[in-house]
Structure 1
């Protein structure tokens, strides 16, 4: 990794921390709150790519592991990795990587803007929602002792907000590509 890559990784870890300052919205029927931080892996993958995006999520998880209260609601420490949301935390790393990988493969300079936007949106939905949900729901089902389908149905309440976050990530990725195309030169 170059110095530039390290700076981008640190920047997106910092963006995740800022997103964590927005208070979570807790729901009574599922132990996972609605947070703004789930936008972060989508942004990281769309804007800085697969490797750097995943590295930024790993850096954030390292900060969590050493006890810094950087997760939404001021949470941090190793205990977070044994809680019901631990699968989502791991999903952030894989989700950022998958989002970035899809964006790297399907977004090209010179494409029509609508195709770039559609590719960014598809990347954010697949990596930032589907992959993250797969990890998060599997762990949540394991921790709660409930069936995967039951946990999935209860988590459907998150989909509208996450689709909005994917649209925001797609718009941000397209705007950065248009305004600063050198950023998309992959590591």
Structure 2
């Protein structure tokens, strides 16, 4: 039972101050989610590298996905990547090689694509442990978080769908998928470097991730 009188001016003032703060925080969340969704799209649309006729083009798309999770946190990171996918499935050509629409469901790369929101969420959750270590060690946490998102979330469905669509056996599909690992290691090193730089410039962002 509340002990604060309903007509207490101080309590009323506190409630009045809380409403604008909540609106400001929501507006900031929406802006960050939209900005990172656009950033992932830009990363996907940069010229792809196709090695040896690979059916899955190598782009900076996963760099954008993991950076969204690490910088924004699990919920906002997943929302940013989910918004990116929604825009792409709606028909805008924001996926790799300028593709878009529901036709991408038939591509060998669809398993990687659909895993991105959960991968960003896992990377964002694990990156939170950086608050428990010294600043000098935080890039290692960010790198480990991004690698976990790649290996534990993106690779399993990506390789499974890739093997199914290309008619590969389990061993062949895993070997094919492993060709992307060196590139992902490099991209996740960049994620750690960029995230560390962002949090040095804006230290409150690390504590306010969600």
- In which range does the TM-score fall when normalised by the shorter chain? over 0.9
Greater RCO between the two (CA within 8 Å, min separation 6)?
1
Give the gaps of 5 or more residues in structure 1. Answer: none
Shift of 1:49: 0.8
CA deviations 1:144-181 (Å, max 9, x no partner) are 23123211112222111110100000111111111102
- Give the alignment of 1:62-81 within 5 angstroms: 62-81=86-105
- Per the alignment, in what secondary structure is the counterpart of residue 99 of structure 1? helix
* Residue of structure 2 in register with 1:123 after alignment: 145
Give the gaps of 5 or more residues in structure 2. Answer: 1-24
Shift of 1:99: 0.3
Q: How many residues align?
A: 185
In the alignment, which of 32, 36, 42 is matched to residue 18 of structure 1? Answer: 42
CA deviations 1:81-136 (Å, max 9, x no partner) are 221111111121111011001112x1117x32332111111001111344211121
CA distance in 1, matches of 2:67, 2:148: 13
Say if 2:146 is the partner of 1:95. Answer: no
In the alignment, which of 120, 125, 135 is matched to residue 113 of structure 1? Answer: 135
* Residue of structure 2 in register with 1:145 after alignment: 167
Structure with bigger strand share is: 1
CA distance in 1, matches of 2:97, 2:53: 18
Scaled by the length of structure 1, what TM-score is found?
0.92
1:95–1:129 CA contact under 8 A, matched in 2:
no
Identify if the C-alpha distance between structure 1 residues 155 and 29 changes in structure 2 by more than 3 Å, giving closer, same or farther: farther
CA distance in 1, matches of 2:151, 2:35: 22
What RMSD in Å do the two structures reach over aligned CA positions?
Answer: 1.6
CA distance in 2, matches of 1:32, 1:57: 19
Say if 2:75 is the partner of 1:46. Answer: no
* Residue of structure 2 in register with 1:173 after alignment: 195
Shift of 1:29: 4.9
Moved more, 70-79 or 151-160: 151-160
- Per the alignment, in what secondary structure is the counterpart of residue 56 of structure 2? strand
Shift of 1:26: 1.8
2:71–2:209 CA contact under 8 A, matched in 1:
no
* Residue of structure 2 in register with 1:156 after alignment: 178
Scaled by the length of structure 2, what TM-score is found?
0.83
CA distance in 1, matches of 2:33, 2:171: 35
